[in-house]
Amino acid sequence: MNFLIQKIFFSILIAFSFLTLAQATDITDAPKLNKNDVSIEMTNVIVKGIETEIKINFKNQEFRKVYEGYPVTIKVNDKPIVVRVIKGIASFKYKFNQNQNFEIKISEYSFTKKVTPIPLWFSVIPPLIAILFALIFKEVFTALFIGILVGTATMFWYQDSSLFMAIFKGLFAIVDTYIIEALTESGHMAIIIFSMLIGAMVNIITRNGGMKGIVNILSKYASSPRSGQFVTWLLGIAIFFDDYANTLVVGNTMRPVTDKLKISREKLAYIVDSTAAPITAIAFVTTWIGAELSYIQDGINTIGIDESAYTIFINSLGYAFYPIFALLFILILIRKQVDYGPMYHAEKNARESELAVNDDDSNTFSNKINELEIPEHITPRWYNAAIPVFVIIFGTFAGLLYTGGDQSVWHDSTMSFGTKLSTVIGNSDSYKALLWASISGVLVAILLTLVQKILSLKDTVDSLINGFRTMLTAIVILILAWSIALVTKHLHTADFISHSLVSINIGPQFIPALTFILGALVAFSTGSSWGTMAILYPLILPASWLIAQNSGLNHEESLMIFHNVVSAVLAGSVMGDHCSPISDTTILSSLASSCNHIEHVRTQLPYALTVGGVSIIIGIIPAAFGVSSWILFPAGLFVLFLIVKFFGKPY
């Protein structure tokens, strides 16, 4: 009986489909259309092998009245295509695989355009040029600008412009398109304002003696380079719920202390950068958790696994080798009091110099913000700095709870408190929370300064404005970095890297390692760990499950590979972000530490690659073959210890 019902249902469905196709009207019989009745919209950036959306806007009212809501047939390069008219607009996607004259015929109307698609492989050139220029010439402004210009000029060159005109148009497109779009993104503006407010607060608590008081307190515990680095690491772990807040608060708070102890700015930036994203990526209650769970849930929905997204996330932590190794690798370096590579030279120079940093700060992001010398009549009081900083830390957490608050979640008896808390934080608006907390911190700093009559109102406002000014250099670099990220999005850089590596025919046990490398490459090229997760999770999660199933693995084995892949996307995104000079979090780490940005990248790169290599060889690959994480984590730490022991050099 059930079979008969299914048969009748499918017969009706097939008949309905044929009826729909039969109703697809040949548009050649429609009211005559001329060039004023139709407009065609195509993106200016057409990449070979990538689907381009084409919109047909019908302006003829008689046509719209007759065909609104109906499927109609048009001819694209003499091939019929059925489209549906919705509110006078019909759209379809077309893949350009070669140079061609693209033609659309609609009744009497004909549209022809010569299309020369940009080769997909070219999409990696602009970010690579920016990265190479930055590393070779150690000048990030020019490197980012040239990378963007190469991308925009290429777009216009493939639109049939001469080389001179392409460069000319590309130059103006940087300002009128890419920088404007980077600034109109609400999240980007929130980061800019948050950074400016942090700079203002730091400048105020420096001028009112609060920072000097904090230094005096921390100096009791951070009395040597080793203890100073350890305190910095502890603060980085403590502010686990947001990487931006972590970076700016820890870097700005500890910089005067590490300067006094002759710890290099490069080492400070490394500790700040390598504690921020790794701890935020794996902690249960963070501003990342919402995005992570949503991407995982989409993957679960696609492949039909009977597990919750949060359960998948918890299980994936057993394979989070890079974030955990990155956090503990810092402790090994601190304990052994050694470094290697460019970081060794930076630390050696800092220890041997009379001052912790050069008097010339022209290559750093700070504009004398680190000076702690205050007038003699001002008494250093630690609470003038501690209270505003705590307002930002706890204000951010409270803001996350408020913006993500859902009474139905708190009253759900089936969920544990930890799951409820993570769900609320995951649903929160982290940008609002950061902005509310930072403006509160600034206002508290101003209030403390004025109530105690430490500075006049005019001097306090001057400190506020000077704090804004200290952030200008970093903000310009952030805007350029976001602009080149937009260029890579338009050129489909991530698609090229993803398709190239996914097409490799390998066994399911090597999929997690390939995913980790893929995530690192995409994050390195685009400068965004969040963007990398958004791109790779929908692509990799279903693919890894299908590959595991098709290879004959049972459900438990496939699930083990799946958990490993979930973690590998996240870990690879973080590692690529650490290595990329165009990453916003890397830039913010340089900013907060007042470190030359390229020097930060250059000194951190060997450490990130070391941890990444050990994560793949000792962690990800053996785990995919079934080796227990209880064995692999100690083994990986032992290998990292040996690397530090044999390659590390004391200062």
Contacts (Cβ under 8 Å, ≥6 apart) of 509: 561, 621, 624, 625
Nearest-angstrom CA–CA distance, 183 and 365: 20
Exposed/middle/buried for 97, CB within 10 Å: 0-12, 13-18, 19+?
exposed
Residue 240 has pLDDT above 80, yes or no: no
Predicted local distance difference test score (pLDDT) of residue 92:
83
* Residues 288 and 431 occupy one common structural domain: yes
Contacts (Cβ under 8 Å, ≥6 apart) of 43: 52, 53
* Residue among 118, 151, 122 at smallest CA distance from 50: 118
Q: How many structural domains comprise the chain?
A: 2
Pairing of strands 71-76, 25-26: parallel
44 inside domain? yes
* DSSP letter string, 506-565: --GGGHHHHHHHHHHHHHHHHS-HHHHHHHHHHHHHHHHHHHHHHTT--HHHHHHHHHHH
Per-residue model confidence as pLDDT tens digits over 307-342: 767 678 878 989 999 999 999 999 999 999 999 999
* Residues 103 and 220 occupy one common structural domain: no
Predicted local distance difference test score (pLDDT) of residue 2:
45
pTM of the model: 0.69
Region 103-109 average pLDDT? 78
Residue 275 has pLDDT above 80, yes or no: yes
213 inside domain? yes
500 inside domain? no
Could you tell me the two tokens for 461?
């406002």
Predicted local distance difference test score (pLDDT) of residue 8:
45
Boundary (domain end) residue, out of 446, 470, 494? 470
621 inside domain? no
The enclosing domain of 30 has a CATH number of: 2.60.40.1930
* Residues 88 and 234 occupy one common structural domain: no
288 against 431, higher pLDDT: 431
- Cβ atoms of 266 and 357 closer than 8 Å: no
Domain that holds residue 371: 188-269+284-301+363-470
Predicted local distance difference test score (pLDDT) of residue 294:
66
Residue 493 has pLDDT above 90, yes or no: no
235 inside domain? yes
Residue 7 has pLDDT above 60, yes or no: no
Residue 347 has pLDDT above 50, yes or no: yes
Region 422-433 average pLDDT? 76
Residue 91 has pLDDT above 90, yes or no: no
- Cβ atoms of 258 and 226 closer than 8 Å: no
189 against 485, higher pLDDT: 189
* Residues 230 and 99 occupy one common structural domain: no
Pick the most confident of 59-73, 471-485, 583-597.
Answer: 583-597
Region 265-292 average pLDDT? 82
Residue 439 has pLDDT above 80, yes or no: yes
569 inside domain? no
Residue 246 has pLDDT above 50, yes or no: yes
Phi, psi of 344 (to 5 degrees): -60, -45
User: Which residues are registered as beta bridge partners of 102?
Assistant: 113
138 inside domain? no
Predicted local distance difference test score (pLDDT) of residue 31:
59
* Residues 109 and 200 occupy one common structural domain: no
* Residue among 17, 22, 25, 21 at smallest CA distance from 72: 25
* Residues 261 and 397 occupy one common structural domain: yes
106 inside domain? yes
Pick the most confident of 2-11, 180-189, 297-306.
Answer: 180-189
* Residues 250 and 103 occupy one common structural domain: no
Of 256-260, 270-274, 423-427, minimum mean pLDDT range: 423-427
Residue 445 has pLDDT above 70, yes or no: yes
| Confidence at 300, pLDDT banded by 50, 70, 90 | confident
* Residues 383 and 292 occupy one common structural domain: yes
Contacts (Cβ under 8 Å, ≥6 apart) of 323: 277, 278, 279, 281, 282, 570, 571, 574
Boundary (domain end) residue, out of 470, 493, 513? 470
* Residues 256 and 375 occupy one common structural domain: yes
* Residues 264 and 398 occupy one common structural domain: yes
**Which residue has tokens 């050649």?**
28
Boundary (domain end) residue, out of 470, 492, 527? 470
Predicted local distance difference test score (pLDDT) of residue 369:
47
Predicted local distance difference test score (pLDDT) of residue 249:
77
